[in-house]
Structure 1
């Protein structure tokens, strides 16, 4: 039982159309699934990823049309990273973000890697991270019809940053229950705060890290549009997920039990600081119910929602996601 890295990150948006434009036209990611929030079928769940939505490349969004502003703070997933192949790609991105009026901080260094911190139109806290020195989990493949050149495009999710006030219980879950090991640290960009600690799992590298930030100067985060809902970690198979469910139960951690998301199977639980973790299987994947050439072009519903298609489609705002072929 060894978690393989980041599986996906799920965040909140108040505007699916604006969100779709930014992540496909500006960031060049592929919409690999246009479906519904299975816990609230009246709103979209959009999955952006590499060419086919390989595990470790999915950045997903629940649409909550009336979501308020996010007030950043502790007990949160406070940063999502997106991987690019090398340092040269970051030069391209610095220019591209500027040309498209995207708020960014330019190329800087963090933990020995070159990065760019930037924000989407809803102030989602994002970082482009270079894989120039990466020797861990491999990235995905840029979609051939991306709006960004293949050698510059986003190839997956990088480190996820957690912000807490008391790190001890979160560290205990990461290292004693999950399969993370502490592998380094780097200075906090905030004066007077502790160093940010780095935890890795599986093959390690940019696709398998959690960065833990301790802040004593912030209240608890009030989530809204631009906040992150949960992070999911990769489990190899459903059989292995069953073992994880047993382990979490033995630790007496309240959890969801097995949840069938159709495209993968999942387990959800909150670590002691209130951050929602998911363990998700690598398969069966997003081509289960759609032609790989046409992923994300129409509303996909898992079989257990198909008999409600007419009712569901009537409640959703139209969102045209067909791309020219």
Structure 2
């Protein structure tokens, strides 16, 4: 069967203060701000993309920062609660020291599927994990800020918190080409494609948890990677045959997207790998200038005045 889903593409989260968000993910996490654009559906709000040097699929964490007035969300069932990044095993002490030096409380290290994990939150309460492993061969971004040998490689896993997981698991395995590779303490791990960091989805069964509430720190959606427009349309057909109602294809400038709700209520997206983030600015200049889709270029002056300034320290 043709490979339709490769693994993770990106995760998009709601945030409060814009500069606090930039500081956390560029300074503390050492990610690159790869695109400064706007929410295509609400252009008075930024859409900020972070990732590796090029914004490779499977490394991209994005945010809609709505400002300090956005109430915090609540973690619970029906939500992607933790986004885990992959880092080398030898960097464990480096990251504990780094978090301690910046007064960021964390839990761990503890073991999950034989790997060490640290868990913490950003300034809005978004759940972040670091998974320490030697399986990931992706290079770290050598940004002269965090040594490349300790740097984040990209995603490792996302955790879907589900009350009744059976239909979600059926979607992942029957339609989205995932395979069960592990089970531990109510957590089921699935891989896409060849597996490995960036291709894992964990379904955490939490029947006693409260229902999630969306707000600052809440994940808006998780996107899965597909190679081409043709494979995207093929998976869309598969989803419709399985009884889901994916949207039409939407052009997000840097990828094409379809969206649908999985049975537990989490918003899923299927995003194409091309055209990528260098379609409107060269690799060396990613994230430096405000990039607008064509429909908003006529409003550039107004938007630039309304959007808060951003400093990458």
C-alpha distance 271-146 of structure 1, shift in aligned 2 (>3 A): farther
Aligned 8 A contact 1:32 1:53 in 2: yes
Q: Is residue 300 from structure 1 mapped to residue 291 from structure 2 by the alignment?
A: yes
**TM-score scaled by structure 1?**
0.92
Residue equivalent to 2:55: 53
Residue equivalent to 1:145: 143
Q: Deviations over 1:192-235 (max 9, x none)?
A: xxx21111110101211111111122221011111111111110
Match 1:80 to one of 76, 80, 83: 83
Aligned 8 A contact 2:4 2:235 in 1: no
**TM-score scaled by structure 2?**
0.95
Residue equivalent to 2:172: 174
Q: Match of 1:207, SS?
A: coil
**Equivalent-residue separation in structure 2 for 1:146 and 1:232 (angstroms):** 30
RMSD: 1.4
Q: Deviations over 1:211-264 (max 9, x none)?
A: 111112222101111111111111011111121222222333122110100100
Residue equivalent to 2:33: 31
**Equivalent-residue separation in structure 2 for 1:145 and 1:172 (angstroms):** 41
Residue equivalent to 2:268: 277
Q: Is residue 317 from structure 1 mapped to residue 313 from structure 2 by the alignment?
A: no
Q: Is residue 245 from structure 1 mapped to residue 236 from structure 2 by the alignment?
A: yes
Residue equivalent to 2:157: 159
Matches within 5 A, 1:128-143: 128-134=130-136, 138-139=137-138, 141-143=139-141
Aligned 8 A contact 1:77 1:162 in 2: yes
Residue equivalent to 1:68: 71
Deviation at 1:119, TM superposition (A): 1.3
Q: How many residues matched? A: 310
Q: Deviations over 1:26-64 (max 9, x none)?
A: 111100001111111110111110111011110111112
Aligned 8 A contact 2:141 2:152 in 1: no
Q: Deviations over 1:119-139 (max 9, x none)?
A: 1122211100123245xxx53
Q: Match of 1:108, SS?
A: strand
**Equivalent-residue separation in structure 1 for 2:142 and 2:72 (angstroms):** 35
Residue equivalent to 2:20: 18
Aligned 8 A contact 1:3 1:235 in 2: yes
**Equivalent-residue separation in structure 1 for 2:284 and 2:71 (angstroms):** 36
Q: Deviations over 1:67-119 (max 9, x none)?
A: 212222110101100111x2111221011111111111132211111111111
Q: Match of 1:48, SS?
A: strand
Aligned 8 A contact 2:4 2:232 in 1: no
**Equivalent-residue separation in structure 1 for 2:163 and 2:108 (angstroms):** 28
Q: Match of 1:68, SS?
A: coil
Q: Match of 1:293, SS?
A: helix
**Equivalent-residue separation in structure 2 for 1:301 and 1:163 (angstroms):** 34
Match 1:42 to one of 44, 53, 57: 44
Q: Deviations over 1:120-160 (max 9, x none)?
A: 122211100123245xxx53x33332521111111101100
**Equivalent-residue separation in structure 2 for 1:92 and 1:107 (angstroms):** 13
